[in-house]
Amino acid sequence: MNSKYKIELLAEGPKAHIYTIRNLDSEISEFERFADEEDVRYDPGFQEILARIDDMANRLGCIDSFFRNESARDNAICALFAPDGKLRLYCIKMRFTLLIIGGGGIKNTRTYQEDPHLDSCVTLLEDFWKRFALYEDNGEIEISSDGKITGKDKI
């Protein structure tokens, strides 16, 4: 199987490892694509999401209740969201100690499927997750108890 994604470390701490993914056709990761969007950068919830990611890595771990299940197709896909706005950052909560972050943006539609950009973010994560599971089953990827991913970083 040809590799399609690269797994890149975003944040690490005593409580969790947090990664993002990069489509190998792209120069930047999904997180960077999210953070580079102007309307995201100026959303009041953006800094709170950054602080939450850092706090999960260093103090709290990936607590279930911090995430909202978003995908109608797959329960593993969830979102970090800002309390007072519509900002969504889609991710896969794999373990208490391991989070994979994808892309996201401002959700102005009732469902993410109605927004082509947000739908593509979720679809990419779903595709990534299927591949990741295969590589993990084959033993080409391993997850340590502290959430660190070892083995292949391109899947």
Partner 1 sequence: MSSVKNKFQELLKQVPDEVKLYVQMQGDIAIRVGEIIKEKQWTQKSLAEKMGWNESQVTRLLAGHENLTLKTIAKLSVVLEENLIQTQPRVVYIPLFPLDTPANAALNLGALRAASSVGNFFPLSTNKVTGFIKTEAKAVA
Q: Exactly one of 4, 32, 113, 148 binds partner 1 (CB under 8 A); which one?
A: 32
Q: Which is nearer to partner 1, 12 or 119 (CB)?
A: 12
Asked if 50 touches partner 1 (CB under 8 A), the answer is yes
Tokens of 67: 């995430």
**DSSP readout, 31-52?**
HHHHHH-HHHHTSTTHHHHHHH
Q: For the segment 78-137, give every residue that binds partner 1 (CB under 8 A).
A: 81, 83-84
Binding status of residue 53 toward partner 1 by CB under 8 A: yes
CA distance 106 to 33: 13
Half-sphere exposure of 27 (CA within 13 A, CB side): 1
Binding stretches for partner 1 (CB under 8 A): 8-12, 20, 22, 29, 31-32, 35, 47-48, 50-55, 59-60, 63, 65-68, 81, 83-84
